[in-house]
Structure 1
Amino acid sequence: MSIMSTNVPGLDKGKGLYFFFIKAERKTPSGLIARPTLTSYYNSEQFKNRPYNPYNVYTSPNETILCPDTFQSMYSQMLCGLIMRHEVLRIGAVFASGLLRAIRFLQLNWRDLARDISTGTLNPRITDSAIKERLMSGILKPEPELADFITSQCSGENWEGIITRIWPNTIYLDTVLTGSMAQYIPTLDYYSGGLPKVSGMYCSSEGFFGINLRPICDPSKVSYTIMPNMAYFEFVPHDVAAPLSSRHAPQPPQLVDLAEVEVGKKYELVVTTYAGLCRYQVGDILQVTGFHNSAPQFRFVRRKDVLLSIDADKTNESELQKAIENASLLLREFKTSVVEYTSYADTKTIPGHYVIYWELLVKNDYSAKLPSHDMLNRCCLIMEESLNSVYRQGRVADNSIGPLEIRVVKNGTFEELMDYAISTGSSMSQYKVPRCVKSVPIIELLDSKLVSVHFSPAAPHFDSECRP
């Protein structure tokens, strides 16, 4: 906030509407407590008894954050945010997907929320005693004019700019929008009217690593300055493979110290932390963009793991996302965008092929036409044209990969996917849509929501003289 306040004056004059969640603790067979790192923090005395700071005042009371029931927590946090709508200067969540889930929650529950505000009574589904006591002790009271306003804004089909309509003093959105979260930017622009979007920190369960010193920059230009007091940082050069020998085991890669990284090069992050991790490979691929004084600045590129592979092909997250972005350009004339996606390598067919699940958002314009079946088939081909040469060689020259398939699913499908993940042990605060799925129940859930199926109508371009 010290950096934000120098870029955005007046943040001490209002509040932040942030959607924070915890997960119920579990015990391992040996009796150790197991919980997500954010749950540990929110349950800590450092959070619960934090000193007053005018730059970090939230609309959500602690009681609403510390309820493990995700519906009750989301409902009560949204209720408080609506009641205090004129005080809200910034809106956020840990990840962009969580922020969009909050908007979806408002779409589904605005009638009950408006009724509570109108009557000053609390929805009977809210049974948590701490939440009830806190809300009924002065926060919730009859406000029929506010309820009428919420009804007027939410009852229509057009939700474009809904964030600034309901929270008119919002200056920016605060959420992670780098890496796989970048695909949510167009949807957030739609709901917020193009508000600035801030990705302020680079952190993980292993620790806090970096901070964005230019928070009001375009999300595509975000770089994080590594804070060398947070851990001991080393890097594995990502562009140079370790030499292999037929007689000897592969040698471990040479680690590069923090002060020796080079601008433009990519590295995998390795940390040694105060908590006891020793040379732990986080799995993030970073690219050096420059220096702040002597501290390197990094752009988050992607996760290390490969997402899709049928044969010799290897498609990673950034390649898949770029292919979807290129295909999405065809949907612009239909005022349609891809709001969620995931994938899997279907090897039941011979040859196997990539399956991409899309959930689409059609903006509210009655003059707009829906994308045709042929247009969505073309999207499949554009995606294939965007993938690497090894994939296209498998499709065209080797016939080892079948035509790419897009399966369009019903609106709300990925929300159900998140609910399923939470029901099986995931944390709502730290949940991210998996960009590749392998679990049979998840694939069955997605397939049960199909709207249409599309295949690439032709083979992508491949020059046999330019084999890798």
Structure 2
Amino acid sequence: YLELYAEDLIRDLEKGTIASWLELEPTLLSKLENQWSADPVRARELRDILKAEGRLTPKQVWSNLSFLGTARGGTSDFYFERFHEYFGNTPIFGAVYSSAEATFSIYPDVDTDGSVLAIESGFFEFIPEDQWDAEHPKTLLATEVNVGERYRLLTTNYSGFYRYDIGDVVEVVGFYNTAPLIVFRYRRGGTMSATSEKTTEYHATQVMQALQQEFGVTLEDFCFTLSESVVATHYLVNIELAPGQTLDNPQAFLASCDRKLQAANTSYALKRPSNFIPAPRLRILAPGSFAILRQRQLERGVPDSQLKFPHISGDRQFLAGLRVEQEVQLAE
């Protein structure tokens, strides 16, 4: 908003008005206008920043910002790659890992992914990865888990949930005294397979983070999908470049993506050399493509605050209608 509507924001601050293009109910608009007042001094400060820097960013507008509170784990790391551009070295605090059903863990510090199991909010059991497909899986207590292992989390709380499986997969990354430090990795159902390799959002995010660093490019967003053909299905690596970015060697980018995905997902690695899973293809989408996807989800009734954009999707029509500027495949 600061980048797109800087001039409008400054003008409204200066005059005490609300931009006419904002679609607000008349009664709400009237109420806001009665509460809104001009702040020409602040408007002048922002105009000076805009003139000097060419844009407004949070670290410029709020120079005394102490920390950011936002979700950590999962696909968050992909977006954190761009935080420095907007927030500088402002610490990032995960606060609480929770859902409507339970509070799972509390973050002990800033700039850390590991959060302390919230042992006083309920009773927790951990299902090891080798038990996920068992009809009656064996569970471990918090004192029995191992660092580096992944588990499904069961919770029994004070509100009546008994051994409830929310579907989250967590990784134990350490201990705080004797309580496990856990980090959310992905949803149990959040996998994609051309055959049976089960690529997760965490795999995809790891790969795209590494690619951005290797090629010195910033992505607006990305999503792995499957080709429409159900015979010899291949991966489609769909990316949108951030404004002002170019990808000089798309083939090298795609080849590195394939190698990195094999390193991240051993099941994918076993199936690629034999062409059991054909080589992936890269699709560079037109600017604004992921904004269109976001709007589609909002129009389906998903609240903006609960919008979680998937970075892998087995839905072959998920990106239907978006313009592909370039499609790249690996040389034989």
Cα–Cα, structure 1 residues 147 and 314, in superposed 2: closer, same or farther, change >3 Å?
same
Selected match of 2:179 from 282, 295, 298: 295
Q: 1:236 aligns with which of 127, 142, 160?
A: 127
Counterparts in 2 of 1:166-177, with a 5 A limit? Answer: 166-177=61-72
Question: What is the aligned partner in structure 1 of residue 88 from structure 2?
Answer: 193
* SS of match in other structure, 2:3: helix
1:378–1:457 CA contact under 8 A, matched in 2: no
CA contact under 8 A between 2:96 and 2:106: conserved in structure 1?
yes
Structure 1 residue 433: Cα displacement: 1.0
Match of 1:455 among 326, 329, 332: 329
What SS does the corresponding residue of 2:272 show, helix, strand or coil? helix
Q: 2:195 aligns with which of 299, 311, 323?
A: 311
- Match for 1:454: what amino acid? V
Please say if 1:133 is aligned against 2:7.
no
Task: State the match for 1:226 in structure 2.
Answer: 117
- Structure 1 residues 340 and 154, CA gap change in structure 2 (3 angstroms): farther
Alpha-carbon distance change, 265 to 314 in structure 1, aligned in 2, over 3 angstroms: closer
Q: What is the CA-CA distance between 1:201 and the residue it aligns to?
A: 1.3
**Pairwise CA distance, 1:111:** 2.7
Name the amino acid aligned to 1:360.
Answer: L
Q: How many residues align?
A: 327
CA offset at residue 171 of structure 1? Answer: 1.8
Residue 109 of structure 2: SS of its match in structure 1?
coil
Matched with 1:115 is: 11
Task: Check 1:456–1:328 CA distance in 2 against 1; reply closer, same or farther (3 A cut).
Answer: farther
1:257-285 deviations in Å (ceiling 9; x for gaps): 23433444322111123333322212222
Q: Is the 8 A contact 1:351 1:400 kept in 2?
A: yes
* Structure 2 counterpart SS, 1:443: coil
The share of aligned pairs that are identical, in percent, is 22
> What is residue 294 of structure 2 aligned with on the other side?
418
1:361 is matched with which residue?
242
The match for 2:251 among 368, 371, 377 is: 377
Q: 2:309 aligns with which of 433, 436, 440?
A: 433
Paired residue for 2:42?
146
Name 1:80's counterpart in structure 2.
none
SS in 1 for 2:301: coil
Contact 1:342-1:433 within 8 A present in 2 as well:
no
Distance 1:331 1:362 in 2: 16
Instruction: Name which of 110, 130, 152 aligns with 1:268.
Output: 152
For residues 359 and 152 of structure 1, what CA distance do their matches in structure 2 show? Answer: 32
- SS of the residue aligned with 1:299? strand
The runs of 5 or more residues in structure 2 that have no matched partner are none
1:202 offset after TM fit, Å? 0.8
- The one-letter amino acid paired with 2:173 is T
- Structure 1 residues 313 and 237: alpha-carbon distance in aligned structure 2, compared to 1, 3 A threshold: closer
Q: SS of the residue aligned with 2:184?
A: strand
Secondary structure in structure 2 of the residue aligned to 1:179: coil
Name the structure 2 match of 1:48. Answer: none
Closer, same or farther in 2 for the Cα pair 1:155/1:346, shift >3 Å?
Answer: farther
Deviation of the 1:163 alpha carbon: 1.5
C-alpha spacing 1:437/1:287, structure 2 compared with 1 (3 Å):
closer
Q: Which residue of 1 aligns with 2:60?
A: 165
- Answer with 434-443 or 402-411: which moved more: 434-443
CA distance in 1, matches of 2:68, 2:230: 44
CA distance in 1, matches of 2:132, 2:188: 16
Q: Is the 8 A contact 1:359 1:410 kept in 2?
A: yes
Equivalent in the alignment of 1:30: none
- Superposition deviation, residue 338 in structure 1: 1.9
1:351 to partner: Cα distance: 2.0
- Partner residue, 2:103: 208
> TM-score, normalising length from structure 1?
0.63
Deviation at 1:352, TM superposition (A): 1.4
The alpha carbon displacement at 1:158 in A equals 5.1
Give 1:402's aligned amino acid: P
Change (3 A) 1:311 1:292: closer
Give the direction of change, closer, same or farther, for the CA distance of 1:293–1:182 in structure 2 (3 Å limit). Answer: same
How many Å separate the matches in 2 of 1:440 and 1:310?
Answer: 11
**Partner residue of 2:138?**
254
- Pick closer, same or farther for the CA change 1:293–1:329 going to 2, 3 Å: closer
> 2-side partners of 1:351 and 1:441: how far apart?
18
| SS of corresponding position for 1:302 | strand
Q: Which ranges in structure 1 are unaligned for 5 or more consecutive residues?
A: 1-104, 244-249, 364-368, 459-468
With the length of structure 2 as denominator, give the TM-score of the two structures.
Answer: 0.87
Partner of 1:329: 213
Provide closer, same or farther for how the CA distance between residues 310 and 278 of structure 1 changes in structure 2, counting only shifts above 3 A. Answer: same
| Partners of 1:203 and 1:210 within 8 A in 2 | yes
